[in-house]
Structure 1
Amino acid sequence: MRLWATRTVLAMALVAGVALAPAPAGGGRGGRVSTGFERRGGTVWTTVAEERDYLRDLVAAAPGPERAGWGAARVTVTRVGTSARGRAVDLITVAGTRSVPEPVRVLFVCGQHGDEPAGREACLKLVRDLAADRSPAGRRLLERVTVLVLATPNPDGSAAGTRATAEGVDLNRDHVAVGSPEARAIRRVLREARPHIVHDLHEFTVPADTAAPPALYLWPRNLNVAPELRSLSIELARDRIGTALPAAGWAAGVYGEDGTARQLGGDGDERLLRNAAALDHAVAVLVEVGTRPVSALERADPGLLGRRRVAAHLVAAQATLRMAAERGDAITAAVRTSRERAERGGEVVYFDGADNVPAGRGAVGPMPCAYRLTPDLYASARAALAEHGVRVQPDLRVPTAQPAGVMAALLLDPRARFAVAMATTEPCAGTSAPHADAL
């Protein structure tokens, strides 16, 4: 029997605040604010309607430190978009009433795939627990860290229990073209809130005979990611989350190196959120929790299985918050350095490959100084360029010396895998435009 199978019950007991029995119902005034998942002991996930009521009660219960029983936190809920079927995409913010000059902004994206509900449940619980924490450690955390949560970025998929959006879009493959309203909502948060850390929560299912641990993690593998951001992302994934999960009782491994038959989504694909967020100058991490029972007890008790999946995500989220609080200066400095380097313009751009797979022939070359668009090409690319904050000059010249310069290349270069328009490259002075066969 695997180690993590024998330690499941112990791990559940060690995770603070994770109910092992149904939680009592409660409202915003004096009672415990609880999710539908908690009230049912983990046997049924929180519905979209229950989430709406939960957030309403949470905001009413925790407007600030003046409410007895709650911590020194402000909780706000802001609509940042709507789904294809008109459901709200809400951003939850938990912030201290006092903060350092530049708090680390941590964004949790909790359910891009609607059939992966444990991350969403973990995020809903995390928000409440942070808001209610009156301990000195909790107050210090929220002085240093602002927590941003997209609990349900794919509300149609969550309501239907489907991976894709109502339009059939895999949201975690739409962070370049940003064609779906749900991807545009996430992009709006990235563009306007500028999180320093992006933590993406998912679940995975593999055959019973596959030797995959019950939790996996990964950093951005795209070769265009700034080295200082990649280094901190690896520290977060491997040293922090990869240590916290085993300490809580679950083995953990690197996604794509987990014994599965094929690597799925563990590469440098810029459409994936962990890569796209890092290209937008953030430390980023992916956490996947297994949905398959790891013990006879979990096979017999769906509630125990559900609570374990949520608990594992909570352990990983708490590890991210600890690193944000302890390594804030290094994180904000790395983000600032990455943006400043992009403003000066890159030397090389990669259109393929990953940090564990060399770029193929023709997939790497000098970064052009700019791209030239025709009116027709601009019309086709305008929406995506705007979503990524790419600056376009009045003459339709797109300089690459800007924070979104790499994304401009990935959107417009003829060599890019997922380009939305094939623009003309403008080489820098003293260089010539590279021919694909020569790269």
Structure 2
Amino acid sequence: MRSKLAAVAVAAALAGGVVVASPVAATAGTAPSPVATAALTSAIPANLVPARPSPQEVRRALARIARDSDGRVRLGTIGRTNEGRPIRLATVGYGPTRLLYVTQQHGDEPLGTPAAIRALWTLGVPRTAWHRWLLSRVTIDVVVQANPDGAVRNQRYNHDPDASGPYTEPGVGYDMNRFHNPLTPVADNPVPESRAILRLWRATEPRIVVDYHMQGRYRQPDGRETTASILWPTSPLASSAAVTAGRRLAVRNYDAMTYVARANVTRYPGGDYEGIARNAYGILGSASLLVELSDLPEDRTEFQIRTAYVSMLATAQGAADRSIWRIDPARADAIPERGPAIPDAPAELARADAA
């Protein structure tokens, strides 16, 4: 089966937000023409990972990908949690442009994790002209399920009964997405998961960072429900160049998520605090983006995973062919603001949406 899949050109159909279906052999230094994203999704093993995986299921899925990719997907750890769980890193590609994806900083926001595992399979297992081209141009690091202690408890926070001070739940843990502050010495950071990601950033200096979360449920003035929201760095400490790069990245993701995944994408109303990953890595100079998947009913879970998956592939393709950097950043202003919360949504969906 693997040899059959390897014969299929499985590039993301994301150029200009338009799905095309005309695989053509690549010439040197030129991206092969992409094929429809349906080919990508159909090639992924159905039992690769559940929608809300445990740390053990993440470990097994990543091991399978590493094996089936013949080592093109490399596995490692960047640290351990307070309970000793590994903070897992998967890397694919060997190109000069570094990308960093982070999933499930909040343990009760899981859907970015199966999307990342699927994206790793898609990018690492088949072996086509498109894969050789893409992976010669980019190196993608994925922190998969960044908060495994929170994941096993289905809680926002990490696990630290001694947590105290701002951005904590006393006796429970820290909100790790408030502890990426680049102005704080890493050694003084009380959150092991955030320390590990900061150290990874400093070791690799990725040009792009995308952080995947989940939010509650919101309705737009036209009556449609928001299915995802995105935002670039908004801290005044981020340089104009980093903000511009983040806005270009936002447009790329808006186009792909809207026209390929068919998501209803809005602008996330996030804050300016420099400890938030979206702001922190923009301050450090990366094109940084937050992606928030709405917590829709169970029958829309697959749709939401696919939305994040398309975002990941669109970002990789746009970094490889450099089309992201040719986008007009002013287009980000046209991304609609997120509408009000749906008042009759189930209580568990009333998240503390301040990622």
Structure 2 SS opposite 1:224: coil
Q: Count how many residue pairs are aligned between Structure 1 and Structure 2.
A: 271
1:109 touches 1:199 (CA, 8 Å); kept in 2?
yes
What residue number does 1:9 align with?
none
Q: What's the CA shift string for 1:160-185, capped at 9, x where partnerless? A: 11111012110111112532111111
How many Å separate the matches in 2 of 1:242 and 1:276?
22
Alignment of 1:17-416 (within 5 A): 17-18=40-41, 23=45, 25=47, 34-35=48-49, 37=50, 42=51, 45-64=52-71, 74-96=72-94, 99=95, 103-167=96-160, 168-176=173-181, 177=184, 178-206=189-217, 213-238=226-251, 240-248=252-260, 249-256=262-269, 266-293=270-297, 302=298, 304-327=299-322
How many Å separate the matches in 1 of 2:202 and 2:233?
18
Residues 225 and 132 (structure 1), Cα distance of their counterparts in 2 relative to 1, 3 Å cut:
same
1:169 is aligned with what amino acid? Y
Superposed displacement of residue 206, structure 1: 2.8
How many Å separate the matches in 2 of 1:207 and 1:274?
21
2:248 touches 2:325 (CA, 8 Å); kept in 1?
no
Q: What's the CA shift string for 1:93-148, capped at 9, x where partnerless? A: 1114xx4xxx1100000110011110011111111111113222222111111010
Superposed displacement of residue 75, structure 1: 1.7
1:15 touches 1:311 (CA, 8 Å); kept in 2?
no
Structure 2 SS opposite 1:285: strand
Larger deviation, residues 208-217 vs 279-288: 208-217
Superposed displacement of residue 17, structure 1: 3.8
The answer for unaligned runs of 5 or more in structure 1 is: 1-12, 26-33, 65-73, 257-265, 294-301, 332-354, 356-439
1:314 is aligned with what amino acid? Y
Structure 2 SS opposite 1:123: helix
Superposed displacement of residue 15, structure 1: 5.0
2:99 touches 2:140 (CA, 8 Å); kept in 1?
yes
Q: Normalising by structure 1, report the TM-score.
A: 0.58
How many Å separate the matches in 2 of 1:199 and 1:329?
14
Superposed displacement of residue 155, structure 1: 0.7
2:104 touches 2:212 (CA, 8 Å); kept in 1?
yes
How many Å separate the matches in 1 of 2:218 and 2:325?
40
2:263 is aligned with what amino acid? W
Q: Normalising by structure 2, report the TM-score.
A: 0.71
The answer for unaligned runs of 5 or more in structure 2 is: 1-35, 161-172, 327-332, 334-355
When the two chains are superposed, the root-mean-square deviation of aligned CA atoms in Å is 2.5
Structure with higher Rg: it is 1
Runs ≥4 residues deviating over 4 A: 13-16, 22-25, 207-212, 328-331
How many Å separate the matches in 2 of 1:50 and 1:237?
31
Structure 1 SS opposite 2:254: helix
Residues 329 and 143 (structure 1), Cα distance of their counterparts in 2 relative to 1, 3 Å cut:
farther
1:322 is aligned with what amino acid? Q
Residues 19 and 157 (structure 1), Cα distance of their counterparts in 2 relative to 1, 3 Å cut:
farther
Q: Which has the higher contact order (CA 8 A, sep 6+)?
A: 2
Residues 16 and 118 (structure 1), Cα distance of their counterparts in 2 relative to 1, 3 Å cut:
farther
Report the identity percentage.
30
